[in-house]
Amino acid sequence: MAEPPQGQDDREPVELHIVSDSTGETAARLVLALEAQFPDQPFVEFRHPRVENVEDLHIAVQQARGRPAVMVYTLVEPGLRDAMRQLCRRARVHYCDLLGHPIDSISRVAGVAARMEPGARAPLDSQYFKRIEAIEFAVKYDDGVGKGLDEADVVLVGVSRTSKTPLSIYLGYLGHKAANVPVVRGIELPPELFEIDRAKVVGLTIDAERLLDIRTARVRSMGAPRKRYAELEVIYSELEEAAALHRRLGCPVIDVSELSVEETAMRIIRLVEKRKRAAAT
């Protein structure tokens, strides 16, 4: 008799060893994106931050030797990168150099040598302060609060739990001032919503069953009894009301049911920029 296929719990975890001459946050963020591409594969992360010499690298590689492991590293100093590559090859451990190839490629194209400074941070330039201002804007004008719709670069419109707040904060991180307007039964919408530039308005929707799961989990986490907020009949009614509003505004609508905040934000930016270009011609 054939054995049943192995499930996720039966798979051997892949070890991801994050090695860095700084905090390792850059590599850690990429590792999360990599893991998302293998939803059925378990992973175990090991961090090796602030490595300073070849001995530190040797210790990290030895921990992965003979294991189902990948060394993922962000090392700025060329000597350490070369040493890491050699150590991994000798130990027969798979490796991924996240900084070396991009640094070399940019240096060749730009004709300028990289600083080669571990832990170097982006300068506090105008772009940095623009992001900070945009994040503060998102917090100030979250959930229909205040009168920031006219000043906003993007205005999000949707029912509760369609990721309006995290999207506004993330768009702020990218330098875009985002305000959001909740569609709530019985609560009047701000008049400004119908007076601003329609090109910057984007509607958000979500699958009703998915929204029910999210709201039910939210109510449970708050330790509150189930409310009409988390009833399917109410959810369908709210989504229909939001859809009617979206049609009235003539705005594009994004279904966030299966999208990450990052992917939704990119779609929002592309939509708004495209609509603004069209309006300007």
Q: What is the pLDDT of residue 6?
A: 44
pLDDT (average), residues 52-67? 95
The residue ranking higher by pLDDT, 4 or 214, is 214
CATH architecture for the domain at 12-110: 3-Layer(aba) Sandwich (3.40)
* Domain assignments of the chain as residue spans, ordered by start: 12-110, 126-280
Residue 79 pLDDT > 50: yes
Give the whole-angstrom CA distance, residue 135 versus residue 129: 10
Do 126-280 and 12-110 fall under one CATH topology?
yes
CATH number, domain 126-280, options 3.90.1750, 3.40.50, 3.30.750, 2.40.128: 3.40.50
Tens digit of pLDDT for each residue in 91-109? 999 999 988 777 777 777 7
Element (H, E) at 242: helix 232-249
Identify how many contiguous H helices and E strands the chain contains and give both numbers: 9, 8
- Check the CA dihedral 196-194-136-275 and report its sign: negative
Q: How confident is the model at residue 122 (pLDDT cuts 50, 70, 90)?
A: low
Could you say which DSSP state residue 12 is in?
Answer: P
Give the whole-angstrom CA distance, residue 96 versus residue 114: 20
pLDDT (average), residues 203-232? 82
Contact 204, 180 (CB under 8 A): no
**Contacts of 6 by beta carbon, 8 Å cutoff, 6+ apart:** none
Q: What is the pLDDT of residue 265?
A: 92
**Contacts of 31 by beta carbon, 8 Å cutoff, 6+ apart:** 16, 18, 45, 72
Q: How is the beta sheet containing 253-255 ordered, strand by strand?
A: 178-182, 154-158, 201-205, 253-255
Tens digit of pLDDT for each residue in 154-205? 999 999 999 999 999 989 988 999 999 999 988 899 999 999 999 999 999 9
- Check the CA dihedral 118-262-160-244 and report its sign: positive
